[in-house]
């Protein structure tokens, strides 16, 4: 069979699905923007695109404008493939950037499974949740308008998919029957506990992918007897509770053997940006004079191997989020057997049960966050129970095999034929 994947960032969340299909002997083509990333036996078809808004477009329509222009470019690439004789048996991709919107015009009879990440709301979810950061007047218009691509996708042929029950619940009830729940698993071998992790010194200076951070951390070593608290976010921003973590640090650092490793870049992520400085700079200005900076280590971004080492060495892992998409890092921390202290928000409760495989604290309560982390550090029997339960939860609920089974069942139903292993050529 021929499987066509479409996503602006190759290979994105599809790399495990691609490996599975490729190892079964199927033909894989991937339409994406220009990138150096490669995968064995995957044909990559790149399209040029500059994500710059058109002048005069209403702010609320800017995402839709970009999506429609991107949809045109991708459809033109697809027409070139079709003209060469290529016809996929199945199309998979992410709806977020509009790339899939016009593929029905190129291959009207090919089933499509599109990733639907989140349905935006003007109150109660990622917007309007945090009273400290009030959206400007009139923002409801463009928040609602961000759903235009989602709504177009759900009225187009094919089905949607989403990875958690919480994310599914954000979509309007009349549309949920068009969306399949395909829960995302973790590589349980790559993210696994290591008893040796605490026996060796941890050189933080080797971990950052940014040369300036490596130089700044040169010689910084976490000794085996030190306690290490980890915090990971793609971007250091309020959406992922960075402000709450920063405000918990003074209380947490009163214990003299505690070090904190913070992974994440200073640039924008899901939430708003500040004018003139980063959120990291903003909150360092607020609490920096209360911190022992010799024990708070900003690593910027780290490579996968360093990230795995950090999780294995972690004595307590903090994960915070608004009612928004749950990060892969939460799943990976649980799989690694971290003692997780997390925000008591709906996307987290899908993975963490308070007192069983982690601790839940009110999102805005920085003192309770610090006290909960300290309890984990001080009561090792309690922490050990959380760690064992976290790994057990991951083994039962987060294996990749479960994810691939859900993909297989959904894809076979759409294609109305089984996906089988082939010895050579196309199935």
Are residue 159 and residue 83 in the same domain, yes or no?
yes
For 99-128, what is the HEC assignment?
Answer: CCCCHHHHCCCCCEEEECCCCCCCCCCCCC
Give a yes or no: residue 208 inside a domain: yes
Give a yes or no: residue 379 inside a domain: yes
Q: What is the pLDDT of residue 114?
A: 98
Are residue 156 and residue 248 in the same domain, yes or no?
no
Give a yes or no: residue 423 inside a domain: no
Confidence of residue 270 (pLDDT cuts 50, 70, 90): confident
Are residue 388 and residue 367 in the same domain, yes or no?
yes
Q: What is the pLDDT of residue 33?
A: 95
Are residue 12 and residue 151 in the same domain, yes or no?
yes
Burial level of 176, CB count in 10 A (0-12/13-18/19+)? middle
pLDDT single digits (tens) 42-75: 999 999 998 777 777 887 888 899 999 999 999 9
pLDDT single digits (tens) 171-221: 999 999 999 999 999 999 999 999 899 999 999 999 999 999 999 999 999
pLDDT single digits (tens) 241-262: 999 999 999 999 998 899 999 9
Quick one: average pLDDT of 338-350? 98
Q: What is the pLDDT of residue 59?
A: 77
Are residue 124 and residue 201 in the same domain, yes or no?
no
**What residue numbers bound the domain in which 39 lies?**
2-185+400-415
Are residue 221 and residue 328 in the same domain, yes or no?
yes
Which is nearest to 31 in space by CA: 47, 12, 13, 15? 47
* Backbone angles phi and psi of 40, in degrees to 5: -60, 135
* Distance (Å, whole) CA 202 – CA 222: 5
| pLDDT-above-70 percentage for the chain | 99
Are residue 208 and residue 110 in the same domain, yes or no?
no
Does residue 301 surpass a pLDDT of 80? yes
Are residue 233 and residue 309 in the same domain, yes or no?
yes
Are residue 392 and residue 404 in the same domain, yes or no?
no
Q: In this structure, what CATH number is given to the domain that contains residue 340?
A: 3.40.50.2000
Are residue 43 and residue 78 in the same domain, yes or no?
yes
Q: What is the pLDDT of residue 124?
A: 82
Give a yes or no: residue 422 inside a domain: no
Determine if the pTM surpasses 0.85.
yes
Does residue 168 surpass a pLDDT of 90? yes
Q: What is the pLDDT of residue 134?
A: 78
Instruction: Output the CA–CA distances (angstroms, integers) from residue 422 to 5, 25, 143, 425, in the order listed.
Output: 20, 5, 46, 7
Does residue 375 surpass a pLDDT of 70? yes
Residues in the chain: 427
Using N-to-C axis directions, what is the helix angle for 380-397 and 328-335, rounded to 10°? 110
Q: Report how many domains make up the chain.
A: 2
Give a yes or no: residue 144 inside a domain: yes
Which is nearest to 54 in space by CA: 30, 70, 77, 39? 70
Instruction: Give 286's contacts (C-beta < 8 A, 6+ positions apart).
Output: 246, 247
pLDDT single digits (tens) 128-162: 899 998 777 777 888 889 999 999 999 999 999 99
With vertex at residue 101, the alpha carbon angle to CA 99 and CA 106, rounded to the nearest 5 degrees, is 100
Which is nearest to 271 in space by CA: 246, 240, 298? 240
Compute, in degrees rounded to 10, the torsion defined by CA atoms 213, 217, 218, 222: -140
Q: What is the pLDDT of residue 2?
A: 97
Beta-strand runs (E) in 131-198: 159-162, 179-181
Give a yes or no: residue 420 inside a domain: no
pLDDT single digits (tens) 398-426: 999 999 999 999 999 999 999 999 965 44
Are residue 44 and residue 105 in the same domain, yes or no?
yes
Give a yes or no: residue 19 inside a domain: yes
Mean of the per-residue pLDDT values for the chain? 94
Are residue 72 and residue 137 in the same domain, yes or no?
yes
Three-state DSSP at 386 gives helix
Q: What is the pLDDT of residue 424?
A: 58
């Amino acid at each position: 069979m021929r499987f066509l994947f479409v996503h602006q960032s190759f290979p994105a969340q599809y790399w495990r699905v691609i490996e599975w299909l490729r190892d079964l002997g199927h033909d894989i083509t991937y339409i994406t923007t220009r990138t150096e990333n490669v995968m064995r036996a995957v044909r990559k078809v790149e399209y040029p695109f500059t994500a710059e808004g058109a002048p005069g477009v209403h702010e609320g329509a800017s995402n839709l404008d970009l999506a429609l222009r991107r949809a045109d470019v991708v459809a033109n690439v697809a027409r070139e493939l079709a003209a060469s004789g290529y016809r996929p048996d199945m199309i998979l991709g992410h709806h977020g950037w509009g790339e899939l919107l016009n593929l029905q015009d190129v291959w009207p009879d090919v089933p499509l499974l599109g990733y639907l990440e989140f349905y935006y709301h003007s109150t109660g979810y990622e917007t309007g949740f945090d009273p400290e950061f009030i959206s400007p007047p009139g923002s409801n218009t463009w928040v609602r308008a961000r759903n235009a691509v989602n709504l177009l996708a759900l009225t187009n042929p094919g089905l949607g998919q989403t990875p958690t029950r919480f994310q599914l619940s954000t979509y309007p009830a009349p549309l949920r029957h068009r969306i399949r729940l395909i829960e995302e698993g973790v590589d349980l071998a790559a993210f696994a506990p290591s008893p040796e992790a605490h026996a060796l010194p941890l050189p933080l200076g080797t971990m950052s992918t940014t040369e300036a951070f490596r130089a700044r951390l040169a010689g910084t070593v976490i000794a085996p007897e030190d306690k290490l608290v980890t915090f990971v976010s793609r971007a250091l921003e309020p959406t992922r509770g960075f402000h709450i973590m920063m405000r918990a640090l003074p209380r947490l650092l009163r214990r003299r053997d505690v070090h904190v490793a913070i992974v994440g870049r200073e640039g924008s992520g899901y939430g708003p940006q500040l004018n003139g400085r980063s959120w990291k700079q903003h909150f360092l200005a607020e609490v920096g004079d209360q911190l022992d900076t010799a024990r708070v280590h900003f690593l910027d971004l780290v490579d996968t191997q360093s990230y795995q080492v950090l999780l294995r060495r972690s004595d307590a892992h903090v994960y915070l989020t608004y009612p928004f998409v749950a990060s892969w890092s939460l799943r990976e921390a649980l799989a690694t057997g971290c003692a997780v202290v997390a925000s008591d928000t709906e996307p987290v409760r899908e993975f963490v049960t308070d007192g069983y495989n982690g601790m839940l604290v009110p999102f805005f309560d920085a003192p309770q966050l610090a006290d909960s982390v300290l309890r984990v550090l001080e009561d090792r029997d309690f922490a050990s129970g959380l760690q064992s339960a976290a790994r057990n939860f991951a083994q039962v609920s987060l294996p990749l095999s479960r994810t691939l089974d859900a993909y297989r069942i959904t894809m076979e139903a759409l294609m109305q034929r089984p996906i089988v292993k082939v010895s050579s050529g196309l199935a």
